[in-house]
Structure 1
């Protein structure tokens, strides 16, 4: 079964000024390249969009809420209000049962981690792309937070690989 590219919160507020994640300069091109490769291979692509509250930079209808990449016909957009992209969204109905998932996006310790865990609980093989997810500095530098998330996810069976090793066949 071909993998599905799950693009979590690849939104302007995270990857473009005024306050992009520290790794935006390297993460954004990696995501773009994976999206192009998935489309070229005919893989299913699902865009997940976070809906923040009216004071958040990703409030629905705001510039920051907009997806970075144009959505093509047949590529669903799933709107969510909590970190787990499956929670109350119908995402599980869009994915073939047991389909392998290639996960990219924002923020490592919130939406990316929650969605990877939820996908594993639903029986999906999950691959997190090391150079295509990121977060902001917080209790530690952003890169360290993302590495901790990768370690935690590996412990529950999520594969972590670089974008150069992703295959959509």
Structure 2
């Protein structure tokens, strides 16, 4: 994938709290580690997005990016306050600086930040690849996490993104 970047959204400690862990969190981390390692090996930039609100308060342990996927020095970390990783952030400018045209998206939370960012990236003209086994969420009152993930993969894959599994992503 030429002019490509990996976008890792909201993989922060609070989402792996033992009292309310995100669905299949350990598998998510393994998939993200593979994606990040493959991107770095291919010299594909990795961009991290970090959510900020009352649950993810800047500077707290729960706000920090999970230690198993810590950004390397020089990798971009974008701070956001809404589900849209582009809204009132530097993401668009940072991607344009590197002439990025293709985004591989993974992370949290499927029905909010993954969905919104994927749609916005598509609307901004990016070729979006959603890693269908590298985003997750929690059960809701009406649907289990697996149903939410499957639904969003179907909807986003039909109109806004190409769907691929972690093992199918080739950065070289």
TM-score (norm 1): 0.93
Q: Offset of 1:140 from its aligned partner?
A: 0.6
TM-superposed deviation, 1:71: 1.6
**Residues 98-122 of structure 1: CA distance to partner in whole angstroms, max 9, x if unpaired?**
5100000000000000000000000
1:145 and 2:143 aligned: no
Question: Could you say which residue in structure 1 is the equivalent of 2:87?
Answer: 87
Distance, in Å, in 2 between the alignment partners of 1:107 and 1:162 is 17
C-alpha distance 32-15 of structure 1, shift in aligned 2 (>3 A): farther
- Tell me which of 107, 111, 114 is aligned to 2:113: 111
TM-align CA RMSD: 1.3
Per-residue deviation, 1:16: 4.7
Question: Which residue in 2 is equivalent to 1:67?
Answer: 65
Structure 1 unmatched ranges of 5 or more? none
SS in 2 for 1:155: helix
- Measure, in 2, the Cα distance between the counterparts of 1:67 and 1:148: 27
CA contact (8 A) 2:118 2:161 kept: yes
Residue of structure 1 in register with 2:16 after alignment? 15
Which segment drifts farther, 13-22 or 41-50? 13-22
Q: How far has the Cα of 1:15 moved from its partner?
A: 3.1
For structure 2, the residue ranges without an aligned partner over 5 or more in a row are none
What SS does the aligned partner of 1:154 have? helix
Q: Distance in 2 between matches of 1:67 and 1:157?
A: 27
- Larger deviation: 3-12 or 90-99? 90-99
- Residue 95 of structure 1 aligns to a residue whose secondary structure is helix
Decide which moves more: 149-158 or 102-111: 149-158
Cα distance in structure 2, aligned partners of 1:18 and 1:2 = 40
- What is the Cα deviation at residue 2 of structure 1? 3.4
**CA distance, structure 2, for counterparts of residue 145 and residue 92 of structure 1:** 28
Query: Which residues in structure 2 correspond to 1:40-79 (within 5 Å)?
Result: 40-53=41-54, 56=55, 58-68=56-66, 69-79=69-79
Calculate the TM-score normalised by the size of structure 2: 0.92
